[in-house]
Amino acid sequence: MLDFLKSLLYNQNYPLIYHSVLFIILFTVFYGVYLIFSPKVKIRNALLLAFSLFFYYKISGMYVLLLVAVAGSDFLIGRLIGNATSHQSKKSLMILSVLIDLGILVFFKYTNFFLTGIFGVLHQPAPWMLDLIMPVGISYFIFKTLTYTLDLYRENIEKPEKSFWNYLLYLSFFPNIISGPISRASDLLPQFAAPSAFNRDMIGKGLFLIITGVFKKICVADVLAVNLVDRVFESPEYFNGFEVLMAGYAYTVQLYFDFSGYTDIVIGLALLLGITVLPNFDKPFLAQNITDFWRRWHITLSSWLRDYLFTPLSLNLRNAGTTGLVIAILITFILCGFWHEAKMTFIVWGALHALAMAWDIVTHKRRAKFKKKYKSPAYKIFSIIITFHFLVLTFIVFRARDLETAWYIIRKIFTTTDFGLAPQWASLYIYPLMVMIIGLLLHYSPIKWNYKLREFFVSTHWTVKACVLALAIVAIYQAFSTEAQAFIYLDF
Q: Is 178 helix (H, G, I), strand (E, B) or coil?
A: coil
Q: Indicate the SS3 state at residue 63.
A: helix
Judge whether 16 and 486 are in contact, CB under 8 Å.
no
Which sign does the torsion angle of CA 389, 395, 400, 402 carry? positive
DSSP annotation string for 325-392: HHHHHHHHHHHHHHHH-SSHHHHHHHHHHHHHHHHHHHTHHHHHHHHHHS--HHHHHHHHHHHHHHHH
Burial class (CB in 10 A: 0-12, 13-18, 19+), 72: middle
Instruction: Give the per-residue pLDDT at 199.
Output: 81
pLDDT in tens, 225-262: 999 999 999 999 999 999 999 999 999 999 999 999 99
What is the rounded CA–CA span in Å between residue 388 and residue 256?
12
Q: What is the pLDDT of residue 214?
A: 86
Q: What are 87-94's contacts with CB under 8 Å, separation 24+?
A: 90/152, 90/153, 91/153, 93/149, 93/153, 94/149, 94/150, 94/152, 94/153
Q: How many CB atoms lie under 10 A from the CB of residue 96? A: 16
Contact 405, 236 (CB under 8 A): yes
Question: Kind and range of the H or E element at 87?
Answer: helix 87-121
Q: Which stretches of 156-289 are DSSP H helices?
A: 164-172, 185-193, 200-214, 222-224, 230-234, 241-272
Measured in whole angstroms, the distance separating CA 419 from the mean position of its chain's CA atoms is: 34
Q: Cα(377)–Cα(374) distance, rounded to whole angstroms?
A: 9
Positive or negative torsion for Cα 45, 49, 50, 51: positive
**Cα separation, 400 vs 403, whole angstroms:** 7
DSSP 8-class letter at 485: -
pLDDT in the model for residue 160: 94
Nearest Cα residue to 151 out of 126, 183, 175: 183
Answer yes or no: are the C-beta atoms of 61 and 11 closer than 8 Å: no
Which pLDDT score, from 0 to 100, does residue 460 have? 81
Q: Is the CB of residue 247 less than 8 Å from the CB of residue 229?
A: yes
The predicted pLDDT at position 131 comes to 64
Distance from C-alpha of 436 to C-alpha of 453, rounded to nearest angstrom: 22
Q: How many CB atoms lie within 10 A of CB 442?
A: 16
Mean pLDDT for each 10-residue chunk of the chain (492 residues)? Answer: 72 76 88 92 95 93 94 96 92 95 91 66 57 83 95 92 96 90 93 86 89 89 92 93 95 96 94 93 94 95 94 89 89 92 91 94 81 76 94 96 94 92 91 94 90 83 77 64 60 63
